[in-house]
Amino acid sequence: MLFESLNIIEPILRSLKQEGYTQPTPIQEEAIPIILQGADLLGCAQTGTGKTAAFAVPILQLLNQSRNFDKKKKIRSLIVTPTRELAIQIDESFKTYGRFTNLNSTVIFGGVNQNPQVNALRNGVDILVATPGRLLDLMNQGHISLRDIEFFVLDEADRMLDMGFIHDIKKLLAVLPKQRQSLFFSATMPSEIVKLSNTILQHPIKVEVTPDALTADTVSQFIYFVDKENKLPLLLEVLKDPKIKTALVFTRTKHGADKIAKALVRNNIKTEAIHGNKAQNARQRALSNFKDRTTRVLVATDIAARGIDVDDLQYVINFDIPNIAETYVHRIGRTGRAGADGTAFSFCYGEEKAFLKDIEKLIGNKIPVVNDHPFPLIGTETEPAPKAKPQQHHRQITGGYADKQRNNYGKPANVKR
């Protein structure tokens, strides 16, 4: 199926074509017609499935078809998301897909001076993308009115729960218009999230693409078994490979991110770290430097990296194995986007083997082990790597996985559900 088959208006189709997008992802194919029909939607989808375009494209179309000709634009669509980085990228998506409409958007988040955000709001916006804290703050100051909201999107609801934002969301719900179209997205559906969705949505249609999001059959994945104290030397060894132009390195803690970044800088590798303790300006500067390859390595914690969208990122390195298997899928979804090659390395010491076992159970395959490195963990059993089959794909708007196979440090894992 192509985007033309979804009854998308010409100005938005033109934007999609300019970006090189031709074929919708599964969630886009299912969600866009539902939203265009005016129904509430419950989307069970992870980052990397293309869900931003799944709601941005139809919202832009519906807003464009029912234009408000008031001199001062009113906020007609509100998208609430848990992290600053994700909010910024959602706003960028609205600007990209809506460039040939007369609609405009802005983004607000904490950690920076509020004055530029307030000035943007005064000029009038159709679409507001916000994190909960700054949104409530500016509402309390009288800078934001939600009485004209027609479309409300709650994105990454499970992460909202993890970060303690549920009470803020309930405050927002109390002031939103009863007559609105609501879209609710969450990677997982624990009982608290189900209860929250029931308070937001009216007769929703459910779209679930989690199984597809857990399929990583086109990312080359490798495990290095290594003692904990040798992880940093191993990272330096891996980064000697000139093919690794940029790499996103994941660590479990803020302290660990800073420690790794400082060590790499001492070894003349241009590196920056992003995590919750970093000022927002510093985080945005680090991400910008990484995108334009001024910085070769970006070290990140999971929450700080949520929503990072970097074109042509080929390498993700799990310095620490995540203790939640789904987090591994989120991490490796940072690479291999939109048809590019992608490779994920993971460093595993003895106590992390249980986490690795959970990951392999989730993805349905053994990840091949790299034995040929200077810091092997003695007594490690290895698994042979299956051969990969070449595949062809259309270009899609997605934060998913590579559409090609790669062969670095051994043969790639062909991971399938």
What's the pLDDT score for residue 71? 60
What's the pLDDT score for residue 70? 62
Summarize pLDDT for 174-195 with one digit per residue, the tens.
Answer: 999 999 999 999 887 888 889 9
Amino acid at 268: N
- Closest by Cα among 41, 329, 305 to 186: 41
What's the pLDDT score for residue 256? 92
CB 364 within 8 A of CB 416: yes
Summarize pLDDT for 139-148 with one digit per residue, the tens.
Answer: 999 999 999 9
What's the pLDDT score for residue 336? 67
What's the pLDDT score for residue 192? 86
CB 397 within 8 A of CB 21: yes
What's the pLDDT score for residue 365? 84
Other beta carbons within 10 angstroms of residue 312's beta carbon come to 15
- Closest by Cα among 306, 307, 328 to 317: 328
CA dihedral sign of residues 111, 115, 119, 124: positive
Comma-separated ranges of CATH 3.40.50.300 domains in the chain:
3-212, 214-363
Q: Which of 3.40.50.300, 3.40.50.10380, 3.90.1150.10, 3.30.930.10 would CATH assign to domain 3-212? A: 3.40.50.300
**Ranges under pLDDT 50 in the chain:** 211-213, 215-216, 381-395, 399-417
Q: What is the pTM of this model?
A: 0.62
Other beta carbons within 10 angstroms of residue 48's beta carbon come to 23
Strands 77-80 and 127-130: parallel
Q: What is the CATH number of domain 214-363?
A: 3.40.50.300
